Amino acid sequence: MTDARSTTYLNRFGDIDYFKKQTRFTLRNCGLIDPENIDEYINARGYLALGTILTDYTPQRVIDDIKASGLRGRGGAGFPTGLKWQFTKDVTSDEKYVVCNADEGDPGAFMDRSAIEGDPHTVLEGMTICGFAIGASKGIIYIRAEYPLAIKRLQIAIEQAKQYNLLGNNILGSQFTFDIELRLGAGAFVCGEETALINSIEGKRGMPKPRPPFPAVKGVFGKPTVINNVETWANVPLVFLDGPAQFSQYGTEKSKGTKVFALAGKVNNTGLVEVKMGTTLREIIFDIGGGIGNGKKFKAAQTGGPSGGCLPEQYLDTPVDYESLAQAGSIMGSGGLIVMDEDTCMVDVAKFFLDFTQSESCGKCTPCREGTKRMLEILTRITEGNGKEGDLEKLERLGSMIKKSSLCGLGKSAPNPVLSTIKQFRAEYESHIYQKKCPAKVCKQLLTYTITEKCIGCGACKRACPVDAITGDPKKMHTIDPDKCIQCGQCFSTCKFSAIERS
């Protein structure tokens, strides 16, 4: 898409490697326009796709174009968008809904928030186009309440679109009427799951429902509903502005277009990165991300947030697309990409993610409610030095069972970080269990603190110790009593002479 939009982006940021190596299509306007001014969006070919569709297209042609583009849902599952819209269009109903999932619950993910705060109109336009295609007149954006600025910008955008006759009755003078309203989430990760989200919109407790029936057939208030992620919506106007053939020029055979990643962790350049599907992890982390900071070594890349897996060094040349990442043992997810170095403990990482999913479990189905709790107990024991023979096998069995029998995606994917780290970093787990050692020196209870000859006897550590485990005379080398030591690390951080070693 070497057209006006991407050229402007390169004009403004083009000499900077970090930006030059990206392909900013869905983020084409972010950082370039004022998101609170609809004129700037219109000036950047905004709503032209909608205008053209309302003039020249039939609803079916819209869906055919989306199918031809190869666009797949960007929320994580990658379901073909055209197919989803087709299913919804084919159901006869007096009312249908178009929903935007802006709940973005993954810890560390901010792709959707940034897209909305930078360019809210592209989401509105995408949803309106879908409304026309499937025969819906109502759109709902379900957005988490923790995003006040994004909510404010959406409200302003909706108001401005209404004033310009781009939302509401008889859009741009056509027969088509479409309204969009906002619904705020209330802090539940599980409400990012589509059936729980729909329950939440209906005023019910955010718990998932079995599928089938799928939302396309029976969604909000029992009506056919298309529910897509923010990033998917941002892609929709693009398919029509430059045509589906152009869109499908980018990406791989089965994964067309681009993907936005929230690059975080131990990289030099953290931020929002958008690349063509098929770009390798190595290119993202080293070429765009600038490699690992502080001269440390790369250890793993975690993709897909708490539902994903950790990929070690040998997977760096994996192209980023739905199938390749799944084959490598992780998932695309919504786009979180956390980079870890040699100072990261993989057991601790698995525990962190499982702790999150366990506390977010809605409790409805037993495998997730009970299973994740037991897995977390085992992991916690391991990080505290109480790992036992058979723990790893138990984790693997439990994990496999939870994946197969959970009701929704939260449960089905909660064991992923644990299972993938056990597979790729088994030795690290075994070190925790059998040697009671944490190679990355992270798990506090497995660290031994010793005072070396660098000690000048200042006594600062002795005063800092909360359990009086340090003894010594002034100006003489001090010692730590390992039986009293609770491995809190206070002495280590207090010592100004680097005289305390931890191993």
- Type and span of the H or E element at 501: strand 500-502
Query: 309 with 345: CB under 8 angstroms?
Result: no
Distance CA 350, CA 335 (A): 18
| Count of residues engaged in binding other proteins, rule: CB under 8 A | 50
- Pick the binder of other proteins from 149, 186, 401, 467 (CB under 8 A): 149
- Asked if residue 164 binds other proteins (CB under 8 A), the reply is yes
State yes or no: residue 118 binds other proteins (CB under 8 A): yes
Judged by beta carbon, residue 16 or residue 427, the one nearer other proteins is 16
User: Where is 274: in which H helix or E strand?
Assistant: strand 271-276
Give yes or no for residue 51 binding other proteins (CB under 8 A): yes
Residue 354 beta carbon to other proteins: minimum distance, rounded to whole angstroms: 27
Distance, CA of 79 to CA of 65 (rounded, Å) = 16
Near other proteins by CB under 8 A: residue from 103, 104, 119, 194: 119
CA 90 to chain centre: 31
Instruction: Extract the tokens encoding 205.
Output: 């407790």
Under the binding rule (CB under 8 A), the answer on residue 55 touching other proteins is yes
The overall longest dimension of the chain from CA atoms, in Å, is: 89
Per CB under 8 A, 45 contacts other proteins: yes
Choice between 291 and 457, CB closer to other proteins: 291
Task: Looking at residues 476 to 495 of the shown chain, list those that interact with other proteins (rule: CB under 8 A).
Answer: none
C-beta of 169 vs 493, nearer to other proteins:
169
Q: Which is nearer to other proteins, 55 or 359 (CB)?
A: 55
- Beta pairing, strands 449-451 & 500-502: antiparallel
SS3 75: coil
408 binds other proteins (CB under 8 A): no
Q: Minimum Å distance from CB 115 to other proteins? A: 8
Does residue 459 bind other proteins (CB under 8 A)?
no
Which of 1, 26, 27, 375 touches other proteins (CB under 8 A)?
A: 27
Q: Are 465 and 486 in contact (CB under 8 A)?
A: no
Confirm or reject binding of residue 241 to other proteins (CB under 8 A): no
Of the residues 21, 48, 291, 472, which one makes contact with other proteins according to CB under 8 A = 48
Q: Which is nearer to other proteins, 216 or 264 (CB)?
A: 264
Binders of other proteins among residues 347 to 386 (CB under 8 A) are none
CB-based contacts of 94: which residues, under 8 Å, 6+ apart? none
Cβ-based nearer residue to other proteins, 10 or 217: 10
Signed CA dihedral, 417, 419, 423, 426: sign only: positive
Rg (CA), the chain: 26
439, amino acid identity: P
Rule CB under 8 A: say whether 230 interacts with other proteins.
no
- The footprint of other proteins on residues 166-225 (CB under 8 A) is 171-174
Residue type for 96, please? K
Listed in sequence order, the residues at least 6 apart from 444 whose beta carbon sits closer than 8 Å to its beta carbon are 487, 488, 489
Residue-by-residue DSSP string for 332-400: -TTSEEEEEETT--HHHHHHHHHHHHHHH--S-SHHHHHHHHHHHHHHHHHHTT---TTHHHHHHHHHH
Q: Shortest gap between Cβ of 219 and other proteins (angstroms)?
A: 28
> Which parts of 270-299 interact with other proteins (CB under 8 A)?
270-273
Strand 271-276 versus strand 258-265 pairing type: antiparallel
Output 32 or 216, the one with its CB closest to other proteins: 32
Binding status of residue 145 toward other proteins by CB under 8 A: no
Under rule CB under 8 A, residue 150 binds other proteins: yes
State the Cα–Cα distance between residues 226 and 131, nearest whole angstrom. Answer: 9
CA distance linking residue 421 with residue 349, whole number of Å: 9
> 93 or 270: whose CB is closer to other proteins?
270
What part of residues 125-144 is at the interface with other proteins (CB under 8 A)?
none
Residues near other proteins, by CB under 8 A: 11-13, 16, 18-19, 27, 29-36, 39-40, 42-43, 45, 47-48, 50-52, 54-56, 110, 113-115, 117-119, 147, 149-150, 153, 164-165, 171-174, 269-273
